Amino acid sequence: MEESLSIMFTIQSWYVLGPVGIIGLIWFISWAKRQKGKVNLAQYILLISFGIYLLCVIHLVFFPIDVNIGRYANQTPWYMTVNFIPILTIDLTTFLLNILMLIPFGMYIPFLKKTKASVKKAAKLGFMLSLSLELLQLLIRVTLGSGRSSDINDLLANTIGAVIGFLIVKTLFKISQLKNMLKQFQL
Protein backbone atom coordinates (compact mmCIF):
# COMPACT_ATOMS: atom_id res chain seq x y z
CA MET A 1 0.00 0.00 0.00
CA GLU A 2 1.39 3.34 -1.07
CA GLU A 3 0.98 6.26 1.31
CA SER A 4 1.07 9.79 0.03
CA LEU A 5 2.39 12.71 1.97
CA SER A 6 -0.10 15.32 3.04
CA ILE A 7 0.85 18.63 4.63
CA MET A 8 -1.81 20.72 6.31
CA PHE A 9 -1.35 23.65 8.69
CA THR A 10 -2.35 27.27 9.11
CA ILE A 11 -0.03 30.28 8.99
CA GLN A 12 -1.32 33.03 11.26
CA SER A 13 -0.53 36.62 10.35
CA TRP A 14 1.61 37.41 13.37
CA TYR A 15 4.19 34.77 12.30
CA VAL A 16 4.87 36.86 9.20
CA LEU A 17 3.75 40.38 10.04
CA GLY A 18 5.55 40.50 13.40
CA PRO A 19 9.02 40.06 11.85
CA VAL A 20 8.09 42.24 8.85
CA GLY A 21 6.92 44.98 11.22
CA ILE A 22 10.11 44.78 13.28
CA ILE A 23 12.33 44.87 10.17
CA GLY A 24 10.28 47.78 8.82
CA LEU A 25 10.66 49.66 12.10
CA ILE A 26 14.44 49.09 12.15
CA TRP A 27 14.67 50.32 8.55
CA PHE A 28 12.51 53.35 9.42
CA ILE A 29 14.70 54.28 12.41
CA SER A 30 17.89 54.03 10.32
CA TRP A 31 16.27 56.07 7.53
CA ALA A 32 15.13 58.71 10.03
CA LYS A 33 18.67 59.06 11.43
CA ARG A 34 20.03 59.72 7.93
CA GLN A 35 17.49 62.53 7.35
CA LYS A 36 19.16 64.80 9.98
CA GLY A 37 16.24 67.11 10.70
CA LYS A 38 14.72 67.15 7.20
CA VAL A 39 11.60 65.32 8.41
CA ASN A 40 9.25 66.81 11.00
CA LEU A 41 7.13 65.01 13.59
CA ALA A 42 3.98 65.14 11.43
CA GLN A 43 5.82 63.39 8.60
CA TYR A 44 7.10 60.71 10.97
CA ILE A 45 3.54 60.11 12.15
CA LEU A 46 2.38 59.90 8.53
CA LEU A 47 5.03 57.33 7.62
CA ILE A 48 4.47 55.18 10.71
CA SER A 49 0.70 55.20 10.19
CA PHE A 50 1.20 54.29 6.51
CA GLY A 51 3.37 51.32 7.52
CA ILE A 52 0.75 50.15 10.01
CA TYR A 53 -1.97 50.58 7.37
CA LEU A 54 -0.02 48.41 4.89
CA LEU A 55 0.46 45.70 7.53
CA CYS A 56 -3.29 45.76 8.17
CA VAL A 57 -4.05 45.41 4.45
CA ILE A 58 -1.67 42.45 4.19
CA HIS A 59 -3.35 40.88 7.22
CA LEU A 60 -6.83 41.31 5.72
CA VAL A 61 -5.93 40.12 2.24
CA PHE A 62 -3.72 37.10 2.93
CA PHE A 63 -4.24 35.69 6.40
CA PRO A 64 -4.76 33.16 7.74
CA ILE A 65 -3.09 31.06 5.05
CA ASP A 66 -4.34 27.49 5.14
CA VAL A 67 -1.54 25.38 3.68
CA ASN A 68 -2.91 22.22 2.13
CA ILE A 69 -0.45 20.22 0.04
CA GLY A 70 -0.62 16.54 -0.88
CA ARG A 71 -3.39 13.97 -0.80
CA TYR A 72 -6.03 16.25 0.72
CA ALA A 73 -5.13 19.34 -1.26
CA ASN A 74 -7.81 21.23 -3.11
CA GLN A 75 -8.11 19.57 -6.51
CA THR A 76 -9.69 22.58 -8.23
CA PRO A 77 -7.32 23.91 -10.91
CA TRP A 78 -5.99 27.40 -10.16
CA TYR A 79 -7.53 28.91 -13.29
CA MET A 80 -10.97 27.89 -12.05
CA THR A 81 -10.49 30.04 -8.92
CA VAL A 82 -9.82 33.25 -10.85
CA ASN A 83 -12.82 35.41 -11.73
CA PHE A 84 -12.10 37.01 -15.10
CA ILE A 85 -15.63 38.38 -15.62
CA PRO A 86 -15.99 41.98 -14.42
CA ILE A 87 -19.13 43.64 -13.05
CA LEU A 88 -21.61 40.83 -13.88
CA THR A 89 -20.18 38.68 -11.07
CA ILE A 90 -19.95 41.36 -8.37
CA ASP A 91 -20.70 40.39 -4.79
CA LEU A 92 -21.82 43.81 -3.54
CA THR A 93 -20.62 43.36 0.05
CA THR A 94 -17.14 42.24 -1.00
CA PHE A 95 -17.00 44.99 -3.63
CA LEU A 96 -17.82 47.69 -1.06
CA LEU A 97 -15.34 46.27 1.46
CA ASN A 98 -12.61 46.33 -1.20
CA ILE A 99 -13.43 49.96 -1.95
CA LEU A 100 -13.21 50.80 1.75
CA MET A 101 -9.92 48.95 2.13
CA LEU A 102 -8.09 51.16 -0.38
CA ILE A 103 -9.65 54.54 0.45
CA PRO A 104 -6.88 55.17 3.05
CA PHE A 105 -4.24 54.26 0.44
CA GLY A 106 -5.63 56.93 -1.86
CA MET A 107 -5.65 59.39 1.03
CA TYR A 108 -1.92 58.82 1.62
CA ILE A 109 -0.94 59.49 -2.01
CA PRO A 110 -1.01 63.33 -1.87
CA PHE A 111 1.17 63.18 1.23
CA LEU A 112 3.71 60.63 -0.02
CA LYS A 113 4.23 61.87 -3.58
CA LYS A 114 6.68 64.76 -3.88
CA THR A 115 5.50 65.58 -7.38
CA LYS A 116 2.00 66.72 -8.22
CA ALA A 117 -0.32 63.78 -7.72
CA SER A 118 -3.35 63.39 -9.95
CA VAL A 119 -6.48 61.26 -10.11
CA LYS A 120 -4.87 59.31 -12.94
CA LYS A 121 -1.77 58.66 -10.81
CA ALA A 122 -3.94 57.62 -7.84
CA ALA A 123 -5.88 55.21 -10.06
CA LYS A 124 -2.64 53.80 -11.45
CA LEU A 125 -1.09 53.31 -7.99
CA GLY A 126 -4.31 51.79 -6.60
CA PHE A 127 -4.53 49.44 -9.57
CA MET A 128 -0.86 48.44 -9.24
CA LEU A 129 -1.21 47.73 -5.52
CA SER A 130 -4.39 45.76 -6.11
CA LEU A 131 -2.87 43.78 -8.98
CA SER A 132 0.13 42.94 -6.77
CA LEU A 133 -2.19 41.70 -4.02
CA GLU A 134 -4.28 39.61 -6.43
CA LEU A 135 -1.21 38.06 -8.08
CA LEU A 136 0.27 37.21 -4.67
CA GLN A 137 -3.03 35.62 -3.66
CA LEU A 138 -2.89 33.53 -6.84
CA LEU A 139 0.72 32.55 -6.17
CA ILE A 140 -0.16 31.50 -2.61
CA ARG A 141 -3.14 29.57 -3.96
CA VAL A 142 -1.01 27.69 -6.49
CA THR A 143 1.96 26.99 -4.21
CA LEU A 144 0.37 26.45 -0.81
CA GLY A 145 -3.17 25.41 -1.67
CA SER A 146 -4.76 28.31 0.19
CA GLY A 147 -8.48 28.82 -0.41
CA ARG A 148 -8.11 32.46 -1.51
CA SER A 149 -9.22 33.41 -5.00
CA SER A 150 -8.33 36.23 -7.37
CA ASP A 151 -11.07 38.44 -8.76
CA ILE A 152 -11.14 41.13 -11.44
CA ASN A 153 -13.84 42.90 -9.43
CA ASP A 154 -11.37 43.35 -6.56
CA LEU A 155 -9.09 45.21 -8.97
CA LEU A 156 -11.94 47.51 -9.95
CA ALA A 157 -13.10 48.09 -6.37
CA ASN A 158 -9.61 48.74 -5.03
CA THR A 159 -8.86 51.20 -7.83
CA ILE A 160 -12.13 53.03 -7.15
CA GLY A 161 -11.27 53.12 -3.44
CA ALA A 162 -7.84 54.64 -4.09
CA VAL A 163 -9.39 57.32 -6.32
CA ILE A 164 -12.09 58.15 -3.74
CA GLY A 165 -9.48 58.50 -0.99
CA PHE A 166 -7.32 60.70 -3.20
CA LEU A 167 -10.29 62.94 -4.06
CA ILE A 168 -11.23 63.28 -0.37
CA VAL A 169 -7.77 64.59 0.55
CA LYS A 170 -7.52 66.81 -2.51
CA THR A 171 -10.87 68.35 -1.51
CA LEU A 172 -9.59 68.90 2.04
CA PHE A 173 -6.52 70.68 0.62
CA LYS A 174 -8.86 73.20 -1.01
CA ILE A 175 -10.20 74.31 2.39
CA SER A 176 -7.93 77.17 3.38
CA GLN A 177 -8.19 76.51 7.13
CA LEU A 178 -6.93 72.92 6.65
CA LYS A 179 -4.38 73.49 3.90
CA ASN A 180 -1.51 74.71 6.11
CA MET A 181 -2.07 71.98 8.68
CA LEU A 182 -2.19 69.25 6.00
CA LYS A 183 0.96 70.56 4.29
CA GLN A 184 2.95 69.75 7.45
CA PHE A 185 2.36 66.05 6.72
CA GLN A 186 3.56 66.16 3.10
CA LEU A 187 6.97 64.71 2.35
Nearest-angstrom CA–CA distance, 151 and 22:
31
With vertex at residue 159, the alpha carbon angle to CA 155 and CA 112, rounded to the nearest 5 degrees, is 130
What per-residue confidence (pLDDT) applies to 4?
A: 65
Nearest-angstrom CA–CA distance, 33 and 39:
10
Phi, psi torsion values for 142, nearest 5 degrees? -70, -40
What per-residue confidence (pLDDT) applies to 51?
A: 93
The total number of residues shown for the chain amounts to: 187
What per-residue confidence (pLDDT) applies to 69?
A: 80
Query: DSSP assignment of 113-181, as one string?
Result: -SSPP-HHHHHHHHHHHHHHHHHHHHHHHHHH--S--EEHHHHHHHHHHHHHHHHHHHHHHTSHHHHHH
pTM beyond cutoff 0.85: yes
What per-residue confidence (pLDDT) applies to 3?
A: 57
Nearest-angstrom CA–CA distance, 86 and 90:
7
pLDDT in tens, the chain (187 residues): 455 677 888 889 999 999 999 999 999 888 888 887 788 888 889 999 999 999 999 999 998 888 888 776 767 777 777 777 888 788 899 999 999 999 999 999 999 876 778 999 999 999 999 999 999 998 888 888 776 788 899 999 999 999 999 999 999 999 888 888 888 888 8
Count CB atoms within 10 A of the CB of residue 65.
Answer: 21
Partner residues linked to 8 by β-bridges? 68
What per-residue confidence (pLDDT) applies to 149?
A: 80
What per-residue confidence (pLDDT) applies to 136?
A: 92
- Give the residue among 83, 109, 96 at the shortest CA–CA distance from 182: 109
What per-residue confidence (pLDDT) applies to 1?
A: 43
